[in-house]
Structure 1
Amino acid sequence: NLKPGERVALMLRNCREWAMFDLAAQGLGLVTVPIYTNDRPENIGYILQDAGVRLLLLEGDEQWQNLQQIRHQLAGLNRILTIEPVDPMG
């Protein structure tokens, strides 16, 4: 349910999923916001809020755990997707 011009973010190392997601987003008219995988959680939260990101794709459990520190800043996100399985309760 994303509309052209809305923002989606990637928090991945260089990989084929990064390229596929970016190309798919561009094809749908979405704006891709890249995020460093090893950035501080506070910076990640600021970027997500400031850019108005609606969807975030991340690598796996390590990034998922870092996001738990800034849960209050993730209210604008509609969805978080991961490439690798994560333990949402962990």
Structure 2
Amino acid sequence: MEKFMIIIIIFSLVFFLYNKIRFWRTPESLLKQIYQSQANLSLGFLMLAFGINLFVNPRSAFDTIIGIIFAVVGAFNIFHGYRAIQHYLPQLEKN
């Protein structure tokens, strides 16, 4: 389980950096919003996986509390990143 979470953390970090670089290099504002939403979604997966990893393999009570906080904030980012992507993609298809 721990190795699986580490793989998810690494892939999420790579996708986050990839989308952030695409966000910085894109001049069009609608595409910028889509890339930002995808970066938020990747960041959410990163934080959720990191929180679950801390929650499942705690070393102390502090790790458990931080793991729960990271998991909640990560789930919040995933939810809002997904909602933003669903909002912006139909606008891109209209153009």
Interval of TM-score (by shorter of Structure 1 and Structure 2): under 0.3
> Higher helix fraction: Structure 1 or Structure 2?
2
> Higher strand fraction: Structure 1 or Structure 2?
1
TM-score for both structures, normalised by structure 2: 0.27
Larger Rg: 2
